[in-house]
Amino acid sequence: MRFQVSHHPEEGWHRIRLHDSHTGCSADIIPEAGAILNAFSIPTTQGICNVMDGFSSFADWKNRIEKGFHSAKLSPFVCRLKGSSFEWHGRTLSIQKFLLNGTAIHGILYDAPFQVIEEGIHEDFAEVELKYAYRGDVAGFPFPYDCLIRYRLEDQQTLLVSTVVHNRGQESMPMADGWHPYFSFGGGINGLMLQFHASQMLEYDADILPTGRLLSQQEWKSPQTIGDRFLDNGFVLDKGNPSPACILSDPASGLRLSFLPEDAYPYLQIYTPPHRQSIAIELLSAAPDAFNNGMGLYTLAPQEAKTFSLRYRLEQLG
């Protein structure tokens, strides 16, 4: 078969690899580490290129996951939650998972041990589905739900990533969904080109929380060299925008990574860390602090489910 699924046990975790033998494209997923995508690779004229800034081992992940949240699943809220608190049906709830200067960040499933529930090999794709059954046991979020993540390696060096959030409780629950991956082509980011289709940018306050105002944004609608610019900004993707919604490319190698979200991910967060060896490009269903400001917030009724999907495509041009 052209497409394959293989398992690779390592100390503390195991890698699941989806592989396309025709193109050499592969994706490595780590169930025990929050179901992260730890590698998305293709062969190039310079050797194998993995565009994910991931982890070398289970020990490396344990040591660093709360320092950068590389590749983390953001659920049930994305980015920041002001003061860690929100109001829900007359109650004040305060999430106590991970706080930075009193603000809860990056959800509660970033270190959850997911379980493999299904895998499949077909003529035109290979896939694996993982599940974590959250029991409502983190202080401040008493809403049980299932999080199911499906990775599907398809033709044209394309990876589909789908998340289903299923409310398993007896009351409605607030939720948002997203990812926090960092990308690199093997060197620094200053020489990379970035482009995305967004005409509006979220205005942030000093705590990187939305003020509620939207600002005009035109600069990144055409390819721009990142250079030494610092970014920690949120954008609203244009509705009906040309596909892909975002492109990160390396003129030196001819590599291009395209981001193709479905409508459930209308927000884009870009962050350039101080080390400037990789860039975070986050597709989100909602704005930061959505539990308080309502920007993109979903309310799931008891037993209701919501699906969020995106694709990454990795190519070497020329």
CA pair distance 59, 63, nearest whole angstrom: 6
Query: Residue 121: is its pLDDT beyond 90?
Result: yes
Phi/psi at 204 (5° precision): -110, 150
* Mean pLDDT score, 42-57: 96
Query: Residue 143: is its pLDDT beyond 90?
Result: yes
Q: Work out the mean pLDDT of the chain and round it to a whole number.
A: 97
Q: 243 pLDDT band (50/70/90 cuts)?
A: confident
* Mean pLDDT score, 80-85: 96
CA pair distance 167, 173, nearest whole angstrom: 7
DSSP three-state, residue 51: coil
Q: What is the pLDDT of residue 311?
A: 98
Q: 61 pLDDT band (50/70/90 cuts)?
A: very high
pLDDT digits (tens, 9 = 90+) for 263-312: 999 999 999 999 999 999 999 999 999 999 999 999 999 999 999 999 99
Query: Residue 318: is its pLDDT beyond 80?
Result: no
Burial class (CB in 10 A: 0-12, 13-18, 19+), 10: exposed
The candidate with the shortest Cα–Cα distance to 284, out of 72, 133, 101, 102, is: 72
* Mean pLDDT score, 129-138: 98
Q: What is the pLDDT of residue 312?
A: 98
* Mean pLDDT score, 150-176: 98
pTM score over 0.95:
yes
CA pair distance 194, 184, nearest whole angstrom: 12
Please report the domains of the chain, with CATH numbers, ordered by start residue: 3-316 (2.70.98.10)
Q: What angle do CA 24, 27, 32 make, to 5 degrees?
A: 150
Q: 313 pLDDT band (50/70/90 cuts)?
A: very high
CA pair distance 53, 162, nearest whole angstrom: 20
Query: Residue 232: is its pLDDT beyond 80?
Result: yes
Q: What is the pLDDT of residue 240?
A: 83
Written as one string, the DSSP assignment of 152-204 is EEETTTEEEEEEEEEE-SSS-EEE--EEE-EE-SSS-STT-EEEE-EEEEEEE
Q: What is the pLDDT of residue 235?
A: 98
Query: Residue 241: is its pLDDT beyond 90?
Result: no
Percentage of the chain lying above the pLDDT 90 cut: 96
CA pair distance 93, 59, nearest whole angstrom: 33
